[in-house]
Amino acid sequence: MTLLETVHGPESLRGLEPDQLDALAEEIRAFLVDRVCASGGHLGPNLGVVELTLALHSVFDSPRDRLVWDTGHQSYVHKIVTGRAAGFDRLRKRGGLSGYPNPAESEHDLVENSHASTALSYADGLARADAHQGRTDRAVVAVIGDGAMTGGMAWEGLNNIAGGPERPLVIVLNDNQRSYAPTRGGFADHLGALRAEAPGPNLFEQLGLAYLGPVDGHDVAALQRVLREARGLGRPVVVHVVTEKGRGFAPTERNELDRGHAIKPMDPGTGKALASSGGPSFTSVFGREMVRIAERRPDVVAVTAAMLEPTGLLPMQQRFPDRVVDVGIAEQHAVTMAAGMSLGGTHPVVAIYSTFVNRAFDQLLMDVALHRRAVTFVLDRSGVTGDDGPSHNGMWDLSVLQVVPGLRMAAPRDGARLAELLQEAVEWRDGPTLVRFPKGATGEDIPAKATFAGTDVLHRAGPLDVLIVSVGVMARVALQVAEVLWAHGIGATVVDPRWVTPVNTTLADMARRHRFAITVEDNSRTGGVGSAIGQFLRDEGVRTPLREFGIPRRFLDHGGRADVLSACGLTAQHIARSVVEEISGPEEARMNGLVTDFESEMARLMDEERGERGGDTR
């Protein structure tokens, strides 16, 4: 039996000698490489915290002592130690283990902490709650990376911890000199001086916090000693731990860009990603087009928040290194800085994940839109991203940002439209623009049959029964719906407005000419594009019934994109059935054999859809 097979919970570690813990660390690294290379996921961050996690769980008594991980993508080892190693066979798959802490999985997971810079605030709240109740018999531990410390919320938390009452709170600063890419800025320089043990003032001690370190984050015995000392202080203390991201696996150690931060399924022997189908990714198309635009427009600059390569800006950074600004995990600063850059005469393009733009809503609203600044926002990972789970699905952008006056939003359906709409966005000078697209491959381009006032007609067959307004990449599903409806004698027109906000006025005329209208979007139904179109049609006096298909107002479990869309009813099968029943009525549809025929047709289309994806849902 291996040491790893004897670990069923944190208590399994407490009888092990340091050399046994070192051996266990190597077994865990081998286990991580094997499982994560098969599934994809955050490999580099976890290879770097193996010894640290073992030391934490051998010194602290989870779940009585509370551990909060920032960000939670470094919690794989924590999951293994807390008895979930078997779940790694279905890591990030529907019904399997989440890629982040998940309170539904284990009492050892306090929060689904997948957005950076929040752990210190959680920890401060937990410690204050204990102090309020007179509890001094347990500790709160926040594990936060130096990359997460570039976020403003982390400094708000640190400021309040330093100025609060004495209470047992341990801040483990996991200093691997990286967020996704190398950490930049003045704080990174300060940590560098501390690592070099250079003389001078210590920022943490000047704030009134105790400070221990720096300590080798791959020396279990040294980590145990310093963590026990920190626990014994009974007051807020920073433990400065120096680790190596991607440690112990040659492909991640060689990758100087991101040290294997988030990998696709790969061959662990060669480090090469397994083949996938579907053509270039939306991200790569954006990156290519940004270079082309920058070559024509000297005023165009790019801004990213610690996600240079994941948002596609690496080619531009390589071509124009002085025209790409990485602000670290600081979305709020990025957006207001972009407003200032626009005010100064440049045209900033802020590339950010859809789910992260929520953090900068106030800045987008008040600092950009209120002042009608010409800033272009590019939201990657919009819609259903799938395997990263509830916090990473970009299902809110079209709803949250729908309320911003003067913001024009586009949703390209394919790679060609992304290139066109990005060009149109940076040409707009009367206020902010936004282009959003999903994670994954673009697939084949879907050409328009005709265009009316900016709205593309993708399909037209039969009588004017159903108008289908598709949003972005849902065009493929919309076309499948139309195909099934026409097989049963129901005519359909499929249109893509391209710019979804403000609503194109031509949709009113189109809707008037049809018996029924639907909208299909991979965004929340609440306040989304469908809602905006419905409000517009009512304002225009259009009486055609409208039904919106989108993501329900709930957090979505992790899983493949196709699985998540199916669970939301966003498949051609579900949508077409609903339309048939709306038009013919459920009983009449069954009597005419529509539902039975329709189900077999949908099964065929779903098989084709899976075949086109090649099984790759990343």
Q: Name residues whose C-beta falls within 8 Å of residue 250's C-beta, 6 or more positions apart in sequence.
A: 271
Query: Which residues participate in the annotated binding site?
Result: 73, 114-116, 146-148, 176, 249, 331
The domain boundary residue, chosen from 385, 409, 436: 436
Residue 116: which domain range?
A: 4-254
For residues 491 and 466, is the Cβ–Cβ distance under 8 A?
A: yes
Domain count, the chain: 3
List the catalytic residue out of 29, 359, 413, 436: 359
Is the same domain home to 191 and 322?
Answer: no
Query: How many Å apart are CA 309 and CA 270, to the nearest integer?
Result: 22
For residue 503, the domain's CATH number is 3.40.50.920
pLDDT at residue 607 in the model: 53
For residue 202, the domain's CATH number is 3.40.50.970
Is the same domain home to 350 and 473?
Answer: no
Query: How many Å apart are CA 290 and CA 316, to the nearest integer?
Result: 7
Is the same domain home to 239 and 313?
Answer: no
Whether residue 261 lies inside any domain: the answer is no
Give the pLDDT band of residue 564 (cuts 50, 70, 90). Answer: confident
pLDDT at residue 561 in the model: 82
Is the same domain home to 302 and 233?
Answer: no
Q: Mind listing the pLDDT tens digit for each residue in 72-126?
A: 899 999 999 999 999 999 998 888 898 889 999 999 999 988 889 999 999 999 9
pLDDT at residue 344 in the model: 98
Q: Which of 100-109, 178-187, 584-593 has the lowest mean pLDDT?
A: 584-593
For residues 410 and 421, is the Cβ–Cβ distance under 8 A?
A: yes
Is the same domain home to 160 and 42?
Answer: yes
Which pair of structure tokens corresponds to residue 184?
């930049």
Whether residue 402 lies inside any domain: the answer is yes
For residues 422 and 435, is the Cβ–Cβ distance under 8 A?
A: yes
Query: How many Å apart are CA 618 and CA 616, to the nearest integer?
Result: 6
Burial (CB < 10 A; 0-12, 13-18, 19+), residue 460, is middle
List the catalytic residue out of 79, 84, 245, 618: 245
DSSP at 99: S
- How far is the CA of 554 from the CAs of 169, 394, 472, in angstroms? 34, 13, 21
Which residue did the predictor score with more confidence, 499 or 581?
499
Is the same domain home to 484 and 339?
Answer: no
Whether residue 593 lies inside any domain: the answer is yes
Whole-number mean pLDDT of the chain?
A: 91
Is the same domain home to 58 and 198?
Answer: yes
Q: What is the mean pLDDT of residues 578-588?
A: 77
pLDDT at residue 616 in the model: 33
Query: How many Å apart are CA 418 and CA 258, to the nearest integer?
Result: 26
Q: Which of 335-339, 367-371, 575-579 has the lowest mean pLDDT?
A: 575-579
The domain boundary residue, chosen from 407, 436, 465: 436
Is the same domain home to 401 and 286?
Answer: yes
Query: Which residues participate in the annotated binding site for thiamine diphosphate?
Result: 73, 114-116, 147-148, 176, 249, 331
pTM of the model: 0.89
Ramachandran category for residue 545: left, alpha or beta (phi over 0 → left; psi -120 to 50 → alpha): beta
Whether residue 539 lies inside any domain: the answer is yes
Whether residue 576 lies inside any domain: the answer is yes
Whether 128 is a known active-site residue: answer no
pLDDT at residue 60 in the model: 97
Whether 272 is a known active-site residue: answer no
Cα–Cα nearest to 409, from 241, 527, 242: 527
Give the pLDDT band of residue 613 (cuts 50, 70, 90). Answer: very low
Query: Which residues participate in the annotated binding site for Mg(2+)?
Result: 146, 176
Is the same domain home to 374 and 308?
Answer: yes
pLDDT at residue 273 in the model: 83
Percentage of the chain exceeding pLDDT 70: 94
Is the same domain home to 129 and 85?
Answer: yes
List the catalytic residue out of 331, 521, 548, 601: 331
Find where tokens 């699985």 sit: 563
Whether 439 is a known active-site residue: answer no
Is the same domain home to 310 and 455?
Answer: no
Is the same domain home to 401 and 325?
Answer: yes
